[in-house]
Every structure is written in structure tokens, then in C-alpha cells.
């Protein structure tokens, strides 16, 4: 279960442990969702972000070149589509490798 930036994890159905997401986790989640060309609202919902959080991470990821904006093709809709760049894909690979490496050690 996810509540406002905190995961509630059941341990054998008895107690709950609180786990918070780091900024790196959120950025990786954001880029992972955007790999399949998604609208802002879709990303916000899939990543469990508030609108303020979405705007903050959009600014960071766009500024660093990890994400790019494209117009919505084939419709009269003025919506923007967000896509993970090559640099963003490299970030995701590095993030996943590092996370797997750390988890193997513990």
C-alpha cells in the first residue's frame, strides 16, 4: 500500500514497516513511466506524486536532459507528451545496476 510518499509493507501479515522513497527512486520511477511516451497526468498518477511534486521533478529532469517534451501527434489535442531521453535511459540503467548491487550486499 502507498500513502503520500511512504510505503506500508506487511511483514508476514503482522506488522507494518514504513519505507520512504528517495529522490532517486522517484526520478527513476518517473523516467521508467515516461519510457513509453506519457502525458503529465498519467505520470503523476503512476508515480503517486502530487501536482507540486510532479512540477518539481519535471523541471529537474527536463533541465538535466533526462526527459524531453514532444507534442501529442495525430490529434487536435494541445497536450504534451513526455519521453525519456537516451541520457535518461542511461541514468535508469545505472540506477538499477547500483540498486541491485547494493541489495546483493545486504
What's the pTM value of the predicted model, to 2 decimals?
Answer: 0.77
Q: Is the domain 22-105 a CATH 3.40.50.300 member?
A: no
The HSE-up count of residue 86 (CA atoms within 13 Å, CB side) is: 0
pLDDT at residue 8, rounded to an integer: 54
Task: Supply the mean pLDDT for the chain.
Answer: 85
Question: How far, in Å, CA of 8 to CA of 22, rounded?
Answer: 15
- Other CB atoms within a 10 A radius of the CB of residue 56 amount to 14
Q: What is the pLDDT of residues 20-66, one digit of tens each?
A: 889 999 999 999 999 999 999 999 999 999 999 999 999 999 999 99
Residue 7 clears pLDDT 60, i.e. is over it: no
pLDDT at 67 over 70: yes
- In the three-class reduction of DSSP (H, G, I as helix; E, B as strand; rest coil), residue 1 is classed as coil
- Per DSSP bridges, beta strands 38-39 and 15-20 are unpaired
Amino acid at each position: 500500500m502507498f500513502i503520500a510518499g511512504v510505503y506500508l509493507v506487511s511483514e508476514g501479515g503482522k506488522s507494518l514497516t514504513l519505507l520512504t522513497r528517495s529522490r532517486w527512486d522517484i526520478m527513476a520511477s518517473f523516467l521508467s513511466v515516461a519510457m513509453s511516451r506519457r502525458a503529465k497526468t498519467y505520470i503523476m498518477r503512476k508515480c503517486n506524486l502530487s501536482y507540486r511534486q510532479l512540477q518539481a521533478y519535471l523541471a529537474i529532469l527536463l533541465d538535466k536532459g533526462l526527459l524531453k517534451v514532444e507534442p501529442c501527434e495525430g490529434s487536435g489535442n494541445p497536450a504534451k507528451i513526455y519521453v525519456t531521453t537516451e541520457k535518461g535511459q542511461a541514468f535508469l540503467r545505472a540506477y538499477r545496476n547500483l540498486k541491485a548491487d547494493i541489495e546483493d550486499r545486504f
